[in-house]
Amino acid sequence: MSEKFDVVVIGAGPAGYVCAIRAAQLGLKTACIDKWIDEKGKAKLGGTCLNVGCIPSKALLDSSHKFHEAHESFKTHGIAMDNLSINVPAMITRKDKVITQMNMGITGLFKANGVTSLLGSGKVMAGKQVEVTGMDGKTSLISAEHIVIATGSLPIEIPPTPLHKDIIVDSTGALEFQGVPKRLGVIGAGVIGLELGSVWARLGSEVVILEAMDTFLVAADQQIAKESAKIFKKQKLDIRLGARVVGSELKGKGKSKEVCVRYAGSDGAEQTITFDKLIVCVGRRPYTENLFTADAGINLDERGFIFVDDQCRTDVPGVYAIGDVVRGPMLAHKGSEEGVMVAELIAGKTAQVNYELVPSIIYTHPEVAWAGKTEEQVKASGEEYKVGTFPFAAIGRAVAASESDGMVKVIAHKETDRILGVHAVGPCAAELVQQGVISMEFHASAEDLALTMFGHPTFGEALHEAALAVDGHAIHMPNRKRK
Ligand code: FAD
Ligand code: NAD
């Protein structure tokens, strides 16, 4: 007889492990299967996010930011730094220690909450059975009242640039460079391209980012995207829009190996550029290989994601799917919220995710962040709206910190004054936009934010002033005349 659980979660990334913990908290007998192992064959819970995504990239962003500050900005504060150097292997080792610490945290949480952690590969069979293939290749069957698929995503590879050792790498390889490449190419000016491109640019690489689209950060509010592009240009990130990569050739031998990339510009003319390393980050695809049998009844949508409804139910009663493997933004917090929702639904509670308010953050310096609707989306919807913007250059705290690039933008409904979107590029943009998310979650008006007292001097005052500016009441800036 196979062991029976109330809930079996496949995948221990931020969607799966959060779902498993919440299910166990709700009194459900829960198992979570994951196949991620380290070089010693030890389970590494946390999925992409913890092992090769959010956390390691932020560790390197923080290390490289400190180096860059010491190199570029300390002198403006009167701090002299002579003989500054970067030890890349030490930086990578620190990143690995951060990951291990967090891996242990999830293992501890599973133990504390009574989640059974199974090491191996899970496959959904008909009749709500899950086949688990252990690392030794042996299989066993477990049965579940409810199954939650949370197998995440993998980097997309493109034919013109097949991965090659540590020369042409995906985002995972770009977290492992052991030295600073002199000439670094990046394909894709999306979130990963900007974040990892920034890491290596700060450490001294000449970075060229080739982006197929003609529009920069097409999902962002375009006023913020334009402001961000100006800032990145000042940081010497060479972002080439309308550049579609068509081929690549490896040249040279050993340490002098380089990659020659061919790309077509917007005018169709082909150009060639040579790099020491190339990062391919053109998006991710859902991870569904070998995940379910044909008779399991699970269907994919037209883009290859597991088909689910608004509450993450697949076509099979009792089988759910969450996180990157289903529609919606590929973000850790989106998957975690889905995980909590599904656990609550299984426990018989009412739950839903507010997909209108998923915050987006790009952890460059300064950060770019937004939530709610962009001005382009509001305009397209035909809603009447008003906008307040405020530059960090007029915020005392930002000037004191020499962090005065960027702005905050608040969009509100013209009649009801309800906040529709909050957008920012600048210091602490992610935290400020989070304040916007809380406001929007509580259906706040721009006036509600404007009437809220903000501490002085804080970066948050830019959000306050942008909310005031919605009705032309900003204090620390002349307001535009309104009709
Ligand atoms: P994953 O984290 O991919 O986890 C899936 C897990 O399922 C894995 O552990 C895998 O081993 C396991 N698995 C797969 N198939 C099976 C199977 N058949 N049996 C058993 N186990 C299986 N998002 C953010 O919100 N903020 C960020 O700052 C951020 N930074 C990122 C930086 C980088 C470089 C990358 C690559 C991604 C980043 N992301 C970020 C995206 C984020 O990592 C993903 O959205 C998130 O990890 C998705 O969570 P998930 O649980 O759905 O899947
Ligand atoms: P992305 O979708 O953000 O960006 C990929 C970019 O590559 C796009 O701008 C696309 O136009 C471009 N592109 C595609 N094919 C191309 C080609 N042949 N030549 C040139 N450009 C091409 O994807 P990503 O940056 O790989 O990130 C993957 C996922 O990981 C995203 O969904 C993102 O949400 C998530 N992520 C999030 C964070 C964060 O929240 N801070 C950080 C990293 C990754």
Do 8 and 115 lie in one domain? The reply is: yes
For the chain, what's the residue count?
A: 483
Q: Please give the number of the atom of ligand 1 that sits closest to the Cα of 48.
A: 2
Q: What's the pLDDT score for residue 1?
A: 60
Alpha-carbon distances of 142 from 35, 103, 283, 316, rounded to whole Å: 16, 25, 34, 17
Considering only CA atoms, which of 424, 422, 447 is closest in space to residue 356? 422
Give this prediction's pTM.
0.98
pLDDT at 229: 98
Q: Are residues 66 and 125 in the same domain?
A: yes
- pLDDT of the residue at 40: 86
Q: What is the pLDDT of residue 81?
A: 87
Ligand 1 pocket test target in 32, 36, 49, 288 with most atoms within 8 Å of CB: 49
Note whether 265 and 372 are same-domain residues.
no
Task: Kindly state whether residues 39 and 93 are assigned to the same domain.
Answer: yes
Does residue 336 share a domain with residue 192?
Answer: no
Q: Among the options 68, 71, 413, 456, which is catalytic?
A: 456
Distance CA 211, CA 87 (A): 30
pLDDT at 128: 93
The answer to whether 322 touches 287, Cβ cutoff 8 Å, is no
431 CA to centre of ligand 1 in angstroms: 23
| Residue 361 belongs to some domain of the structure | no
Please tell me whether residues 398 and 270 are part of one structural domain. Answer: no
Clarify whether residues 199 and 294 are in a common domain.
Answer: no
Looking at residue 266, what is its pLDDT? 87
Residue 458: the pLDDT is 98
Q: What pLDDT, on a 0 to 100 scale, did the predictor assign at position 204?
A: 97
- Residue 149 in contact with residue 291, Cβ under 8 Å? yes
Kindly state whether residue 260 falls inside one of the protein's structural domains: yes
456 is catalytic: yes
Residues 276 and 386 in one domain: no
- The ranges of the chain with pLDDT < 50 are none
For residues 338 and 378, membership in a common domain is answered with no
Task: Provide the pLDDT for residue 482.
Answer: 61
Lining ligand 1 with CB less than 6 A are 10-16, 33-36, 47-49, 52-54, 57, 121-122, 150-153, 171, 192, 287, 291, 323-324, 330-333, 335, 363
Parent domain of 246:
168-282
Q: Kindly state whether residues 400 and 425 are assigned to the same domain.
A: yes
Residues 149 and 10 in one domain: yes
160, part of any domain? no
Look over the chain and give the mean of its residue pLDDT values, rounded to a whole number.
97
- 3-state DSSP assignment of residue 257: coil
> Does 327 reside within a domain?
yes
